[in-house]
Each structure stands twice: as C-alpha cells, then as structure tokens.
Amino acid sequence: MKRKMDIKLVKAKDSDMLFLLKLRKLTMVEYLKKAGLYLTDDQHLSRVKIHFNAAYIIKQLDEKVGLLKYIETKDAIEILQFQILPKYQGKGIGNYLLNDMIQLSGSLDKNILLKVLKENPARYLYERNGFCIIGEDQYEFHMEFKK
C-alpha cells in the first residue's frame, strides 16, 4: 500500500524560474563539477527553460520541494529533470514520484527513459526502482524502466 505523502505536482510558471535555478544549482553543481563541467548561471537557466511546458513543481504540504520534468514521446516517457531540494532528499519523495511514473508508464504501455550524471547517487534510487543502465556517454548513464 502506498503511503500518503501529501505530495502534488503543480505546473511550473514563469514566476517559479528563480526557485528552479536555485534548485538546479543546489542539486546539480556538485555532480557537474565532479564530471569536470562548470556551467554559468545562464547555462543553468537555459537548461531550466528547455521543455519548460513539461515542468512540474513538486510540492509537499504546499511547500516547493523539487522539480519533475518529463515528456511523452511516441515510444516512451522521458524524464528530463528530476530534482529535490537537498533537505528533502532521503525522505521517500523521489521514490513516491518514481512509483507514480512507473504506474503511468504501465497505463500508457510505454517504457521510461532518463539520464543521470555518473557521479550522482540518484542513480541508485533509479536502480532500486527497477531502472537498468542501457548505455552511457562521457558524463551520464542512460537508464530505462521497461514496462
């Protein structure tokens, strides 16, 4: 039985841009640096803006705690960004939302695809939830959950 966590996804708005930039930097800079990648604020903001129409603010008890950005293609659901503020990590939020995505993929009869920086421990969250590495590039593992 799924535990209720008072989590909801709310469509991101332009007014969320500063929160999303801060979130990205808090959750990504450490792992980007380990990979030898150093981005400017403009480069981070550009990444936030990609597929912005597919971005959802993760809220817990009406507090902004993260971002889930995903698109549905003909063949799959692609998780583009999945970030949770560090103080909320390890509390089951990521697991809860991944399970929702897995249920969605089953109802749509589609696999889920994502990429994760090789240095990012979120990889283990994905593996615990049934994602497998199907490829890699210099910086990221390419992962898939098969329906």
Output the six-digit token pair for 23: 């979130």
Looking up residue 12, the CATH number of its domain turns out to be: 3.40.630.30
Residue 1: inside a domain: no
In a domain, 2, yes or no: no
Contacts of 2 (CB under 8 A, 6+ apart): 96, 99
Domain containing 126 equals 7-145
| Amino acid 2: pLDDT | 47
Which H helix or E strand runs over 116? strand 111-117
Residue 120 placed within a domain: yes
The HSE-up count of residue 26 (CA atoms within 13 Å, CB side) is 17
Residue 147 has pLDDT above 90, yes or no: no
* Prediction pTM value: 0.93
Tens-place pLDDT, residues 23-35: 999 999 999 999 9
3-class state of residue 11 by DSSP:
strand
Structural domains counted in the chain: 1
Reported as a single tens digit per residue, the pLDDT across 98-109 is 999 999 999 999
